[in-house]
Structure 1
Amino acid sequence: MPEPDNKPPAAKAPSLLDTIFSVLASFFGVQSEKNRVRDFSAGKPIVFIAVAIVVTLILVLSLWGIVQLLLKNAGV
């Protein structure tokens, strides 16, 4: 009688949208254990790094734009 295969199923690589949500969740520190395991077992580090850099640039440029708008409205 063959023994059952006790190996866990191969994790599916996260999609780009899953990667973006994982990076945003990590910015706030609210990543779920299930997603963390998926990201570390099937995700490619370079994709997470690239998405994190883009999200960081968007955040910084948004803050810079808000400050510029506030300064302009304050007459400075």
Structure 2
Amino acid sequence: MELSDQHPSKKPGLGALVKSILAAAIGVQTNKNRERDFTTGSPLAFIIGGFIFTALFIASIAIIVGFVTSSQ
């Protein structure tokens, strides 16, 4: 079986990209999805997505902490 038969060359869509980033962030990425990401996905898309996720996560925590500390 050729490599192209094992892993289609179709790039993952936005939904698959977001799902992979979220799964990787919380540590539940499956081997199948990880292999798909490494063989078909663009590293730049995952890096940018990771930075966006991290920024949103930090902003969310800061907002929650702000609400909690201001209400006391």
TM more than 0.5: yes
How far residue 40 of structure 1 moved from its aligned partner, in angstroms, is 0.3
Deviating above 2 A after TM superposition, structure 1's stretches of 4 or more consecutive aligned residues are 8-11
In the alignment, the residues of structure 2 paired with residue 31 and residue 70 of structure 1 have an alpha-carbon distance, to the nearest angstrom, of 32
Amino acid aligned to 1:20: V
Aligned-CA RMSD value: 1.0
1:11 CA displacement: 3.3
1:55 is the counterpart of 2:66: no
Q: Distance in 2 between matches of 1:28 and 1:71?
A: 26
The TM-score with structure 1 as length reference comes to 0.84
Larger Rg: 1
Unpaired runs of at least 5, structure 1: 1-5
Between the two proteins, the alignment pairs up a number of residues equal to 69
Greater helix share, 1 or 2? 2
Partner Cα distance (2:28, 2:10) in 1: 21
In the superposition, the TM-score normalised over structure 2's length comes to: 0.88
Q: 1:66 corresponds to which residue?
A: 64
User: Which residues of structure 2 form unaligned runs of 5+?
Assistant: none
Q: In the aligned structure 1, how far is the partner of 2:28 from the partner of 2:9?
A: 21
Output the CA distance in 2 between the equivalents of 1:12 and 1:29. Answer: 25
